[in-house]
Amino acid sequence: MDASAFLPTPPTLDRLARAAIRCTACPLYRHATQTVFGEGEPGARLMLVGEQPGDIEDHIGRPFVGPAGRLLDRALGLAGIDRDDAYLTNAVKHLKWTPRGKRRIHGKPNAGEIRACRPWLIAEIAAVKPEVIVCLGATAAQALLGSDFRVSRQRGEWIDSDLAPRVIATVHPSSLLRIRGAEEREAALQAFVADLAMAAGDEG
């Protein structure tokens, strides 16, 4: 089963967001606090797609408002991008987690969960009509570009796709948070900023 049965007609962003609340296309809805849909305006030039909501996003109901989101905001600012000018979403709309004591540990969405949620993502792209899609991390890239896509090989390259005039993939900001060395982390941040700046620029 996938989310196609839950898509509203016409699929405007507001209608999609309301309809997604009721989605039961995969089992993740059973343990998530709520659906975390995308955020932004139709017509946004830039669309950023991550993996899934984190713990804070799951509680608040907005994408990219946790630690990775704050780092993304910093990187966007350094790249000269206003977050309000972009549309932010995730490939999977519910948090996948497992308990570890009192903590909730993120679990990577599997192929079935990604496939089940893909109609929401495709509908968002159709409603927003972005000029540029930025895939943040492997899950987002593979959800949109196929399971054979490797960010490690094609990071920072323009990808041919019917989804948008230009598509590019880079790392997820959460990967930067896992880097312990200050110099290494700063270098990774600058590389991430460069990828975002390229996406925001006019190079093709």
- For position 200, what pLDDT does the model report? 94
Q: Is 135 helix (H, G, I), strand (E, B) or coil?
A: strand
- For position 102, what pLDDT does the model report? 87
For the residues 178-203, what does the mean pLDDT come to? Answer: 93
- For position 203, what pLDDT does the model report? 46
Share of the chain above pLDDT 70, in %: 99
Quick check: 8 and 16 in contact, CB under 8 A? yes
- Give the Cα separation of 169 and 134 in Å (integer): 6
- For position 1, what pLDDT does the model report? 86
Quick check: 158 and 195 in contact, CB under 8 A? no
- The answer on pLDDT for 168 being more than 80 is yes
Token look-up 């955020």 returns: 39
- For position 202, what pLDDT does the model report? 52
Q: Which long-range contacts (CB under 8 A, 24 or more apart) does 193-198 make?
A: 193/75, 193/78, 193/79, 194/79, 194/156, 195/134, 195/155, 195/156, 195/168, 195/170, 195/171, 196/75, 196/76, 196/79, 196/81, 196/134, 196/170, 197/79, 197/80, 197/81, 198/156, 198/168
Domain 3-200 matching CATH 3.40.470.10: the answer reads: yes
Q: Which residues sit opposite 134 in a β-bridge?
A: 48, 168
pLDDT in tens, 2-34: 999 999 999 999 999 999 999 999 999 999 999
Instruction: Name the pTM for this structure.
Output: 0.96
Where do the domains of the chain lie? 3-200
CA 197 vs CA 108, 154, 194: distances in Å? 28, 17, 5
Cβ-proximal residues to 172 (8 Å cutoff; 6+ apart), any chain: 50, 51, 68, 136, 137, 138, 139, 140
